[in-house]
Amino acid sequence: MSNVLVELSNAMAGAAEKAGASTVLVNARRRMPASGIAFAADLVLTANHVIEQEEGITVILSDGAEVPAKLAGRDPGSDLAVLRLEKALAKPAETSSEAKIGALVLALGRPSREGIEVSLGVISAVGGPVRTAHGSIDRFIRTDTTPFPGFSGGPLVDAEGRVIGLNTSGFGRGVGLTLPADYAWKVADQLTKHGSVQRGYLGIRSQGVELSAAVQKLLKREQAAGLLVVSVEEKSPAEVGGMIVGDILAGIDGQSVEDHDGLFARLSGDAVGKSLPVEILRGGQPQTLKIKIGARA
Amino acid sequence: MNLSGLLNSALDELLGRIRPVLAVVMDKRRGAGAGILMGNGLVLTNAHVAGRGRSLQVVLANDETYPAKLVASDKNVDLALLEIPANGHVAAVFSEETPRPGEMVFAFGHPWGQRNVLTGGVLSAVTSLRGRQGEIPVLRADVQLAPGNSGGPLLNAAGEVIGLNAMIFGGDQSVAIPAGVIREFMETALKSVPVRAAEGVL
């Protein structure tokens, strides 16, 4: 018997099977195991909060093989961690950055040796950026899938079996969130290279101030606010670059900075180590300083 | 017809196939569960629904009510077979295929006594549970169930029975006894009704 319902069902099972091949079990805590997603033959992305030990971590692949793994990096801010497998036997997941509200999705996990587990739902919301207990995340996806025990670190999968995000319940209050694949993969890349997520560092304290129409005219753009520098740390990148108390920070690298969220966005990991033009207002006059962005410890 | 129309008519067809084989199983003291017709007057349900088999009644889809006799019961796999003095009713069709996690599934039963309620979801896991006498294979699904779904079928998208709903965990996970376990149970059970076994049920 075949009809559209049977075809849809087969497609969903096919999607689960395809993504399931890259969904692994992560054994790094005493309680129940959690899940992870292979993003290279020897690299697994998982949720940071399920890594409760750094020794004796193992990963179980879709074919049942148990492979020892080492922690390559972790970032509590985004609740992501990368494990490096001793043997490059994993099958990397195919990803997609498309996340539309209402789309059919499957949440996958591999909480036991018995195989994958699946929950069906739709994308309920796409939001962000949002501050978390230890940092911030750029973007998140909400779904009405059921996060079964051991699902943290597992993938959110579209109807074609592509990974569109990583599910975690690590942000507290029992709320499940999905970190979008493009964001999570970017963090994974940094964790693989540096062992942690680098965040840019200027070394100033600042507060938001309104910019007058006259000042906006001098800036040659509409910008309602900037950041008034109220202290500059000694020997910080800002001090070395010539910034002083009383300056108003208006832009970095050609992009305007109106508030603290905007400043954080400009000071992403990509900015670390680069000398960037920093636009300030000093005595009401626009000036540009060259500041070499440091790395936050 | 557009895709949603086609999906709805496929669901109609599925309901049309399963509705005639779904029964209500009740006894005088306890609430009702569900059961499915196996042909030759046999009705499959859960052992915990059938209990000790005293004063059981089976109500068919057309509201015909029959007294039922307990033929066999296995608490380890939570299955029971009843017999009613009626014949010629259609029998449930069981799936021959291996269930796949992620496939669409539907539960049909009488949650909270509301008759013939269909709920949908996906098959979450093909796994096992520790039973009274060792591990038993089970299917887990994310369909919504409530008391009264016990003994009702878990169906695949083609409307074939892939399991019998047996337990409910927290409203968002169901546990069903898979078709393979039902087949084994039926083989053993039918040895206690030799005449019917000769007729080749299942």
Q: What is the mean pLDDT of residues B150-161?
A: 95
User: What pLDDT score does A135 carry?
Assistant: 66
Domain boundary, last residue among A161, A194, A227: A194
Looking at the structure, tell me whether residues A145 and A236 fall in a common domain.
Answer: no
∠ at Cα A239 (A237, A240), nearest 5°? 65
Dihedral over Cα of A185, A191, A197, A200: its sign: negative
Looking at the structure, tell me whether residues A217 and A257 fall in a common domain.
Answer: yes
Looking at the structure, tell me whether residues A64 and A176 fall in a common domain.
Answer: yes
Residue A216 has pLDDT above 60, yes or no: yes
Looking at the structure, tell me whether residues A103 and A124 fall in a common domain.
Answer: yes
Average pLDDT, chain A: 92
CATH number of domain containing A92: 2.40.10.120
Q: What is the DSSP string of B7-71?
A: HHHHHHHHHHHHGGGEEEEEESSS--EEEEEEETTEEEE-HHHHTT-TTEEEE-TT--EEEEEEE
Looking at the structure, tell me whether residues A45 and A173 fall in a common domain.
Answer: yes
Dihedral over Cα of A36, A39, A40, A46: its sign: negative
Could you check whether B13-91 and B104-182 share the same CATH topology? yes
Provide the CATH number for the domain formed by B104-182 in this structure: 2.40.10.10
Paired tokens of B198: 């000769």
Domain boundary, last residue among A162, A194, A226: A194
The closest alpha carbon to B17, from B110, B128, B118, B133, belongs to B118
More confident residue, A268 or A236: A236
The model's confidence at residue B199, banded by pLDDT at 50, 70 and 90, is very low
Paired tokens of A39: 């993003």
Chain B residues closer than 8 Å to A6 by CB: 10, 156-158
* CATH architecture classification, B13-91: Beta Barrel (2.40)
Nearest chain B alpha carbon to A120: B122
The domains of chain B are located at 13-91, 104-182
| Domain of A258, in residue numbers | 200-295
Question: What is the phi/psi pair of residue A157, to 5°?
Answer: -120, 140
Looking at the structure, tell me whether residues A63 and A170 fall in a common domain.
Answer: yes
* Amino acid, single-letter form, for residue B96: E
Query: Residue B174 in contact with residue B141, Cβ under 8 Å?
Result: yes
Chain A residues closer than 8 Å to B7 by CB: 4-5, 8
Contacts of A97 (CB under 8 A, 6+ apart): A164, A180, A181, A182
Chain B residues closer than 8 Å to A146 by CB: 142, 172-173
The closest alpha carbon to A227, from A248, A204, A201, belongs to A248
Count of other CB atoms within 10 angstroms of residue B116: 15
Domain boundary, last residue among A142, A169, A194: A194
Q: What is the mean pLDDT of residues A229-242?
A: 95
Paired tokens of A230: 């109220």
Looking at the structure, tell me whether residues A181 and A237 fall in a common domain.
Answer: no
Looking at the structure, tell me whether residues A209 and A283 fall in a common domain.
Answer: yes
Q: What is the mean pLDDT of residues B123-139?
A: 86
User: What pLDDT score does B196 carry?
Assistant: 46
The yes-or-no answer on residue B12 being catalytic is no
Nearest chain A alpha carbon to B139: A117
Query: Residue A242 in contact with residue A204, Cβ under 8 Å?
Result: no
Considering only CB atoms, A114 lies closest to which of B121, B127, B172, namely B127
Distance from CA of A89 to the nearest CA of B (A): 23
Looking at the structure, tell me whether residues A23 and A143 fall in a common domain.
Answer: yes
Name the pairing type of β-strands B173-178 and A225-232. unpaired
What share of residues in chain A are helix, strand, coil (percent, to 5)? 20, 40, 40
Looking at the structure, tell me whether residues A53 and A171 fall in a common domain.
Answer: yes
Domains: count for chain A: 2
Nearest chain A alpha carbon to B138: A114
Chain A residues closer than 8 Å to B140 by CB: 117
The three-state secondary structure class of A4 is helix
Paired tokens of B2: 């557009």
Looking at the structure, tell me whether residues A190 and A209 fall in a common domain.
Answer: no
| pTM of the predicted model as reported, rounded to 2 decimal places | 0.81
The yes-or-no answer on residue A247 being catalytic is no
∠ at Cα A285 (A284, A288), nearest 5°? 130
User: What pLDDT score does B130 carry?
Assistant: 76
Looking at the structure, tell me whether residues A234 and A99 fall in a common domain.
Answer: no
Question: What is the phi/psi pair of residue A152, to 5°?
Answer: -60, 135
Show which residues on chain B lie within 8 Å of chain A, measured between beta carbons. 3, 6-7, 9-11, 13-14, 100-104, 121-128, 140, 142, 156-159, 172-173
